[in-house]
Structure 1
């Protein structure tokens, strides 16, 4: 371990923590709204940075770099194409949540269907967070830090042993962040870390390209543009891990679920002061997603030109940082990776706690006739966060035994929970009379169908195409049930007038520009241009 790099890592980490403390020290958490929604007073820059950085964990750095190193840039479709889904969410879904003053996305299901559907989906979300989202954030962060500082060599223990220790270090710090600071502390850290991340990415690109060019930055650019250009291909073929055609089937559905119904993401937008602020924040997050090729994929391209054969390809990003960066930059990037893990883990914990406290604990107590105070809610939420954190820290190291590339494995697990929930949410958005029983049958059918097609039967169809098929079939089943057994009274959304619902007047111009840039990026990284040589 380089001492300068480690000192820089500690200094930057403490600086971000200090900034967060200074900005939130007068923010006393005395209510559940303060803990979960920062009292609904976030600015658009806070919303945008929180949305973007909550989405960015070490998994993005680790997974994207590995995928580009092994294949090509088709993996960029996940992030870049999500812009289209984010803009749809901004225009059509966020207004629904804000109109109903909803604290959790399952709140919509209660008003649209019934309390049982809300409780069922809340349980599915909680299972997803505790066995998938939170452990993956911890595991990817541990991989990146071990690759940067080589703790397994320093401590003279196995690779697996160092991953266990680092998982617990990240988990404990992230738990304290969420339990003590709430959502307000998380979004302040997001803003500071966002600035650090973009700075670090630009510096890493400079030093990486200079390294490839033998000390000459321009020669490095010439090298990556003239050799091994097949790795620049974002279109790819049907045999790639992420075929281009999946953008129009299962990928758009998963992106709509993630940005429109995933509690850990939507909670950031619901904490905005009004609809205009939320829409501006989402547009800002879209701009960040369009920088994905620079932030998360270029290190993988650099790795292609540096390493001919790596045994542990999950360490491509870490190896590139260690080998091309001066010690100060290595420590700086390590702090960003650590911060990314913390600011993905903490919102995940906060959102899981929100779901448990407001959708399960509070209704359970009230059903028993027990009066629930704000003090009870805060205490139960913090206890649940400690439980969820411990469970995630035990599960995270088990991902070492996955056979798929890390990013593909992550998305396959996400799909098991996302599409069943999104399907019943979608039908709830676009219909008025489909009954609660249709939602219960729909979520059960879709979940079981996905498990059977991925674990029991070999369909030979890409899992994202399978998701699209399941979405169509499940929707058809729900619509048929709605036709045969419609609700007596159609659903009517109520306006609770908690925030101003006036939309951002310039959103169409901004959204159009973002979509044009999205299309141009796919053309740039295709056989028509950079991948043509």
Structure 2
């Protein structure tokens, strides 16, 4: 590993000055009300919405983990990066329902469609899930990146980034988050693209990579009997996780709710889908380049998760290295800022405001700021626990999400597509589903101490993709059966909130919110996704 020199530090310093300038500008302009603090006043344009969706998704766990998947023979994980089609699903299918309902949060939408019980379950569970997965994983990955790049110890790197990000998130709210994320997305794309081009040049092009690693290594589609990544369940479970993450999770959907109208929100998701295609080229390919150089004896790293920072520090010239380092710091900070703000929104709007409905706006904003500080502290406490994670970080993240996603995806999907689904069914499915997911995680941890012929060992040892697919089917059946055995939902709970109950006026409004250009770009994105799937088939 080469450490950063003076020119690198000048680039990093310049980047942080601009970031600070944007944050200060936003903080000085902000108003003291909840819509402004949590949803940036619902007045954001499509470019900022799309860039914010991309930047909040691409965190250091992508930079570390996706490159690690490329370097560690986990190419099927690439399918999670081809979810541009799911981002389009958010804009074309889900967003109109959310916008019509006028909600701040996803649990709030569940209350409008079902009842308060579902809202409570999703609120509490989402906050716990954010702390256990998003915050802790991002801080852990960020600690690796920062310590490797800046030559400082893991704790100093992780703590300083968390505190700095927490500061502007607390003071500036959602507006500070989305505007700083726009800059961070630009810096990250430019930096990582530079590394990809320099890396391809260093290994002698794509053909040279294929010769070194072999065509079978570059195949993302493994047989249905593969013990790690059987292709049928990989396709099904990754889609379930994708719909949960992109279409129903506060963390991402909150970006589209900041848009000034459905038209801007949908265009933001189309732009975000285009940007979502980039990680394949920005992070996965550098991981494969790092492996190629290691196989040739020209580069050394111990764990696949170190592939990206080691490649960057060895290949890039002075100055450019600083720019990419700034991009990596940007990725870490944008992910953390997004999850901090989402946590404080969920706590303030879905929990605190429900318990104290007459709280004035100014106090709600203050509560949101305190909630952010608490989440920052919990995130820091989790660092030593996360430091014990072994293996490829990205695979760990996807496996945990495969146990979280099925019940939530089932409730949202059937909730908007089937009018008969009622509040009791939604509540039962969420509670039972979350219990099953927790049991699976527990069984996976203790499976070595279980009887290998028993049902508990079988459940704990089952491939996480196969488990996710069967679990989703179980949730769908449970939803339908409980709904049919209980009372039909009232018209108030379904009007404009399911496909069959949308009024003619709302259909007309929705139709006027897009044109042929939106449809054309959507088709282009879908064709690119198909082309990448065909390209990485090992031939």
Residues 105-504 of structure 1 correspond to what in structure 2 (within 5 A)? 105-151=106-152, 162-212=153-203, 219-230=204-215, 231-237=217-223, 238-239=225-226, 241-308=228-295, 310-366=301-357, 371-456=358-443, 457=456, 458-459=458-459, 460-487=461-488, 489-490=490-491, 491-493=493-495, 501=510, 502-504=512-514
Distance 1:40 1:488, change over 3 A: closer
Matching residue of 1:154? none
Distance 1:324 1:284, change over 3 A: same
Distance 1:323 1:488, change over 3 A: closer
| 8 Å CA contact retained: 2:52, 2:182 | yes
Matching residue of 1:74? 76
| 8 Å CA contact retained: 1:74, 1:240 | no
Please, which of 33, 44, 47 is the counterpart of residue 45 of structure 1? 47
Please, which of 5, 8, 12 is the counterpart of residue 9 of structure 1? 12
**Partner Cα separation in structure 2 for residue 417 and residue 517 of structure 1:** 29
Residue 338 of structure 2 aligns to a residue whose secondary structure is helix
Structure 1 residue runs without a partner (length 5+) = 152-161, 213-218, 529-533
Per the TM alignment, residue 27 of structure 1 is displaced from its structure 2 partner at its CA by 2.2
Please, which of 515, 518, 522 is the counterpart of residue 511 of structure 1? 522
Deviations 1:52-97 (A, max 9, x none): 11101011110011111110532211011x1222222221111000
Measured on the aligned residues, the alpha-carbon RMSD in Å equals: 2.3
Matching residue of 1:59? 61
**Partner Cα separation in structure 2 for residue 438 and residue 376 of structure 1:** 35
Deviations 1:215-265 (A, max 9, x none): xxxx34442243213432222345374443234311101100111111010
**Partner Cα separation in structure 2 for residue 304 and residue 402 of structure 1:** 22
Distance 1:271 1:242, change over 3 A: farther
Per the TM alignment, residue 131 of structure 1 is displaced from its structure 2 partner at its CA by 2.0
Instruction: State the TM-score, normalized to the length of structure 2.
Output: 0.89
**Partner Cα separation in structure 1 for residue 235 and residue 209 of structure 2:** 30
Distance 1:423 1:404, change over 3 A: farther
**Partner Cα separation in structure 1 for residue 64 and residue 344 of structure 2:** 27
Deviations 1:435-477 (A, max 9, x none): 3222222112222223334432334532122122111112212
Per the TM alignment, residue 429 of structure 1 is displaced from its structure 2 partner at its CA by 1.6
Distance 1:485 1:396, change over 3 A: same
Distance 1:149 1:229, change over 3 A: farther
| 8 Å CA contact retained: 2:99, 2:262 | yes
Moved more, 221-230 or 114-123: 221-230
Per the TM alignment, residue 290 of structure 1 is displaced from its structure 2 partner at its CA by 1.3
| 8 Å CA contact retained: 1:148, 1:330 | no
**Partner Cα separation in structure 1 for residue 77 and residue 9 of structure 2:** 31
Instruction: State the TM-score, normalized to the length of structure 1.
Output: 0.90
Per the TM alignment, residue 205 of structure 1 is displaced from its structure 2 partner at its CA by 1.9
Per the TM alignment, residue 513 of structure 1 is displaced from its structure 2 partner at its CA by 1.4
| 8 Å CA contact retained: 1:100, 1:493 | no
Structure 2 residue runs without a partner (length 5+) = 444-455, 498-502
**Partner Cα separation in structure 2 for residue 360 and residue 453 of structure 1:** 28
| 8 Å CA contact retained: 2:23, 2:168 | no
| 8 Å CA contact retained: 2:27, 2:171 | no
In the comparison of the two structures, how many residue pairs are matched?
506
